[in-house]
Amino acid sequence: IDVKGLVLGVFENEGEQGSVHLTEAAAGFDKALSGKLSELLKISGPALKKGKSRIFYGIHEDFPCVAVVGLGKNNAAVCGAENWDSSKENIRQAVSVGCRLLQDLEVNHVEVDGCGDAQSAAEGAVLGLFEYDQLKSKKKTKVTTQLHGSADSAGWEKGVLYAEGQNLARLLMEAPANHITPTAFASIIEEKVARHAEHVTIHKRFDWIQNQEMGAFLSVSKGSEEPPVFLELHYNGSPDPTRAPLVLVGKGITFDSGGISLKPSLSMDAMRADMGGAATVCASVVTAAALKLPVNIIGLAPLCENMPSGKATKPGDVVKAKNGKTIQVDNTDAEGRLILADALCYGHTFNPRAIVNVATLTGAMDVALGSAAAGVFTNSDWLWEQLHKASVVTGDRVWRMPLFQHYTRQVTDSQLADLNNIGKYSRSGGACTAAAFLREFVTAPHWAHLDIAGVMSNKDEVPYLRKGMSGRPTRTLVEFATGVVHND
């Protein structure tokens, strides 16, 4: 049975006591009901604060259930202290609350107030309703959404595509590792880009890895029975095919046991999401194609498992990367930087406009910033400004971290090789040491490393995301690509 619901917004009233400050769409709805909605809001309890909700039944024949949500102050704007646009975040949070409330009532079609920013409203709705329940017998009600009371259908559709991109990354990260092997991951992305075949080409590379002499990547994969895959996506959206591409590189460890340097069993199940970098990068390329962005993007994802076995790389082994540098592997659980090293070397062959790698790289990043922001290590002030500007819009924050020579000395003083894959003298500054290691494989003037370990999962920190893997920072990567187009 089709059951329709409606989500409407109300701002915190800063004027006359007892009055109600409705959004434009909510005011139109209220007028059609001869003021019944505003009257009910006055008598049903205290004024709605930001993120709070109230539901009314039977007040309109087309909508058996109407959820009214608090948007906070109408004058909210970019907040320097929080490094995001508070108005956009308030809308995402409020709309998600209303949509979930109606979903719990088994309403399967929801019309959503644009709240003055249809894109943010769409993001709140689509992100807030997502839950990974593919493997459960009892599933959440599937809800379709549409814009209500606004002419900004373009903004709404853009928000839907942004959110669906992040939800794709969430699905890949949340799914169990026996369902998302390197081969399965590549096949899912192949299926997603098929509808954009005119502008996207995909290469699933196997023996090619050996031919490219990616010894660092192969040293990680050799302990697993699952074959490694190097996934390469080319989105050609620019009217000028010779325009230098953005290269996005994502760490794709589909399960990380730590290898011979085995992780503790507690919470090891979460390492099914250690391919979060690859998931967000590939989802960003899919989204850019769906948006038809006028930019060229190359997405690279080295995919493999990190497992212990008789064939696995051992602590103290020395391997050779694609650029000829030798690496002493003192800890096989510092594997992400090894597969990224070869992918970064390959990424330079495209003469990129900028190269950005994304990885759930270090627990130290989680210790440093927690889930508040992804850490950005970069050699380019321009690139940092572009990433930061994008994150303010999406509310998916990034924070610049140091790339001091102090950390480089930690990885270049190796007893047996050119480099060591962990800090030689101290575990302190682990996220910075990992970034310094990656910099040894970078010659591009505009490079950034995003360590997303701290933002990999969500408990309740981001109110419009349910508990589980977050898919962050997919929307920021898409907004970054959009911004580069506008600034060229």
What are the catalytic residues? Answer: 263, 337
Q: From the CB of residue 271, how many other CB atoms can be counted at a distance below 10 Å?
A: 21
Asked if 87 and 76 touch (Cβ cutoff 8 Å), the reply is: yes
CA distances from 478 to 85, 197, 289, 297 (A): 17, 19, 10, 11
Tokens representing residue 206 in the block: 């196997």
CA atoms within 13 A on the CB side of 235: 33
Q: What's the longest Cα–Cα distance across the chain?
A: 81
Tokens representing residue 440 in the block: 């040894």
Which residues 6+ apart lie within 8 Å of 364 measured at CB? 427, 429, 430, 431, 432, 434
Q: Measure the CA–CA gap between 87 and 85, rounded to whole angstroms.
A: 6
Q: Measure the CA–CA gap between 131 and 360, rounded to whole angstroms.
A: 22
Asked if 223 and 313 touch (Cβ cutoff 8 Å), the reply is: yes
Asked if 162 and 123 touch (Cβ cutoff 8 Å), the reply is: yes
- What is the DSSP code (8-state) at residue 137? S
Query: What are the φ/ψ torsions at residue 405 (nearest 5 degrees)?
Result: -60, -25
**Which runs of E-coded beta strand occur in 345-432?**
354-359, 374-378, 398-400, 419-420
Asked if 371 and 458 touch (Cβ cutoff 8 Å), the reply is: yes
Query: Between β-strands 21-22 and 4-11, what pairing exists: parallel, antiparallel or unpaired?
Result: antiparallel
Q: From the CB of residue 349, how many other CB atoms can be counted at a distance below 10 Å?
A: 10
Amino acid at 422: I
Q: What is the CA radius of gyration of the chain?
A: 24
What is the side-by-side order of every strand in the sheet holding 326-329? 317-320, 326-329, 419-420
Q: Measure the CA–CA gap between 22 and 37, rounded to whole angstroms.
A: 10
- CA torsion 22→28→33→34, rounded to 10°? 80
Asked if 73 and 21 touch (Cβ cutoff 8 Å), the reply is: no
